[in-house]
Amino acid sequence: MASESADEGGLDLLKQAAESCLANGGDWYSTIQAVGILEHHVGMPALLKDATFIGMCSPERVLRLFDMMPASYQQWVEQNWNRLGYERETNELRELFIMSVGLGGEAGEVQELLKKHVRDGREIHDDLLLELGDVLHYLTRIAAQFGMTLEQIMLANREKIERRHAKREAARRAEDSHA
């Protein structure tokens, strides 16, 4: 819990510094030094801990990073999810169908791009970026439908994978000790 409050404090300082710099037209690097951002970064995302990165970023870009944090993105998806004006409460099954088929369709488009990359050597970076964004959009909406946050999903997935790696490592060590 202590790292969460440090994270929030450092992130709040960074956001305030960017907003202040934009409002007052100040020098960005001087602004972040003045408010002590670089000293108050315990628990902050790795990218935002990097003094060089923060110094090179414009305050506009820093604020844009805040817009794309998982909770902000999930809120944006929720605000922009609307299907022909139907009420969600009366069409929950319909919405779930649209979300699940949409996710499958977009995942298929990702697979198609990867196939073309492997088979034809096609450059897919820009198209892949867009299609993965579509996958994320539907995934985010499905998560919200079931009361989950992206942060919860990310943490649960990380823990599951770490447990899987630990089991594999333990099995490998047991096999090596018997050999």
Q: Is 18 exposed, middle or buried (0-12, 13-18, 19+ CB in 10 A)?
A: buried
How many other C-beta atoms are found inside a 10 Å radius of the C-beta of residue 128?
15
Helix, strand, coil shares of the chain, percent, nearest 5, are: 80, 0, 20
How many other C-beta atoms are found inside a 10 Å radius of the C-beta of residue 5?
11
Q: What is the pLDDT of residues 23-74, one digit of tens each?
A: 877 776 666 666 665 555 444 555 555 555 565 666 677 677 666 678 888 8
Kindly state the DSSP code that residue 166 receives in the 8-state scheme: H
HSE-CB for 37 with a 13 A CA cutoff: 26
Nearest in space to 66 (alpha carbons), one of 24, 26, 12, 22: 12
Q: What is the pLDDT of residues 103-159, one digit of tens each?
A: 999 999 999 999 999 999 999 999 999 999 999 999 999 999 999 999 999 999 999
Q: What is the pLDDT of residues 72-85, one digit of tens each?
A: 888 888 888 875 55
User: 90 — phi, psi (to 5°)?
Assistant: -90, -10
Report how far Cα 102 is from the mean position of its chain's Cα atoms: 20
The pLDDT assigned to 84 comes to 55
The pLDDT assigned to 159 comes to 94
